[in-house]
Copies of this chain bind each other. A is one copy, B any other.
Amino acid sequence: PGKIISKVVEFARKTKKLGQDDPRRIIHSLKVGLAITLVSMFYYFEPLYDGFGVSAMWAVLTVVVVFEFSVGATLSKGFNRGLATFLAGTLGFGAHHLAILSGEKAEPILLGLFVFLLAAMMTFVRFFPRMKAKYDYGVLVFILTFCLISVSGYRDDEVLEMAHKRVSTILLGGFAALLVCIVICPVWAGNDLHNLVANNIEQLASFLEGFGPEYFNTSEDVESNNTLLEGYKSVLHSKQTEESLANFARWEPCHGQFRFGHPWKHYLKIGSLTRKCAYRIEALHGYLNTKNQTSQEIRSKIQDESIKVSSESVKALKELAMAIETMITPSAATLHITKSKIAAKNLKLMLNADLCKETDLLEVIPAVTMASLLVDVVSCSEKIAESV
């Protein structure tokens, strides 16, 4: 029993953390509950129920399936579902009509053939990368509706009426979901993408901020430094998140500081440059573990210049992140990058002058590599700066 209690406590702790990390999650859950309850209530209004009958269930189904976390995702799913249902309904009705014309015996064979061909073709279409990214759900609904309409029609000649009812309930469900999603505390995918990209650049800055003290053993607060140093890791794997957010953001109407048709693709470009920089930083991170191969003496020689390089980069990156966040052209970023480039040049010169003559090069190599990775990071930041 003690084990069960500890598990329950653990679960409660996790739940609380999830809610605290992003309170929008709690609001989202309540919104979904509200939308579903609203639509379910259709069953209780006699006039509405008499109009739709069992079809009312499609409204509930649509809300459950279409309601997503961000407005863009909900819009894109709702649009996919609506359009696909309409197209497939029309086509399904056509196929059904054609099959009936061909006579009693040929009907099931013809319909079977239609269903087979369409399902196979549409399944193949889902493999196209561009279709997969944008219309995967629509194609699925298309197959589904086509099969349901064309086949069920065999029994029931009121296909047209059924299709009409189904389309209208689905539209109703879709609108209910959208309304609740947009009106009550909307979550904008575009806003999330915007913050993610800015935040990723900031993560790189915090790594560089923590790197200097860690490498040269001047840091005191080891604990807090470690969190600074690990933050960049999420940047490495942010590609898919960014792409799906950009996909959803294209669907959103203007909101806050973003107009419709905001250049979302540009964020992907900045994001991929940020990732490139993060890969260099990952390589740099490796040198934290092997730092003791280089003697303290050598390290202290390059300390000042290295820290200058990284601190100027930090300033530049922070400036860039800020610029993205506020959407104001960065003014001081270029200055900081020029400064860090000068510092990098000084670092190189010093390596050349000081170290080569007196000490064993073998010992210096890791330091040199570290320094030139740092310089790489600087040139990566320069590219990010250009594209902001």
Contacts and interface: CB of A to CB of B under 8 A. Distances in A.
A237 B115 CA distance: 37
A133 interface: no
A25 B54 CA distance: 37
A151 B43 contact: yes
Contact of A140 (B65, B140, B362, B376): B65
Contacts of A237: 237, 239-240
A373 B108 CA distance: 66
Contact of A376 (B121, B155, B283): B283
Interface stretch (A122-130, A213-221, A247-255): A122-130
A177 B221 CA distance: 58
A348 B368 CA distance: 13
A352 B282 CA distance: 26
Contacts of A280: 283, 286
Interface stretch (A26-34, A76-84, A223-231, A335-343): A26-34
B128 A14 contact: yes
Work out how many copies of this chain go into the complex.
Answer: 2
A60 interface: yes
Interface in A48-69: 49, 54, 57, 60-61, 64-65
Contacts of A236: 279
A289 to B, nearest CB: 11
A373 B239 CA distance: 25
A56 to B, nearest CB: 8
A385 B355 CA distance: 36
A109 to B, nearest CB: 10
B116 A148 contact: no
A193 to B, nearest CB: 18
Q: Which 5 A-B pairs have the closest CB atoms?
A: A33-B120, A29-B124, A352-B361, A29-B123, A33-B119
